């Protein structure tokens, strides 16, 4: 299983800014190893963020996203104490879900 995501959700001036650092190798399927064999593709395909169980952000990703991706988005309806949950799914079926509290 992948390392936990680092999620920070900060409320300021009526808007909550959510910052997420994901831990994932993100192989494109185009690189070769030292022996010249193609390294198989392994990347995040879906990202979803929920505010108290309601989806507020979703994205479909592909092999062009960098290793250990960083994501930032804003939510106007969040308030201090709410829960932000971020989940990703990769092309091998691995998943990761982490939660942070809006501060």
Question: Which residues lie closer than 8 Å to 32 by C-beta, 6 or more apart?
Answer: 38, 39
Residue 2 pLDDT class (50, 70, 90 cuts): confident
pLDDT one-digit tens code per residue, 42-100: 999 999 999 999 999 999 999 999 999 999 999 999 999 999 999 999 999 999 999 99
Global pTM value: 0.91
CA distances from 41 to 24, 26, 35, 51 (A): 12, 8, 17, 31
6-101 topology per CATH: Immunoglobulin-like (2.60.40)
Residue 1, pLDDT score: 59
Q: How do the domains of the chain map onto residue ranges?
A: 6-101
């Amino acid at each position: 299983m992948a390392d936990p995501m680092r999620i920070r959700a900060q409320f300021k001036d009526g808007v909550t800014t959510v910052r997420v650092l994901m831990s994932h190798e993100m192989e494109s399927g185009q690189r070769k190893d030292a022996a010249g064999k193609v390294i198989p593709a392994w990347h995040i395909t879906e990202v979803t963020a929920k505010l108290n169980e309601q989806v507020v952000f979703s994205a479909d990703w592909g092999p062009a996203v960098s290793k250990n991706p960083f994501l930032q988005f804003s939510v106007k309806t969040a308030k201090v104490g709410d829960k932000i949950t971020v989940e990703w799914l990769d092309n091998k079926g691995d998943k990761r879900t982490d939660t942070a509290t809006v501060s």
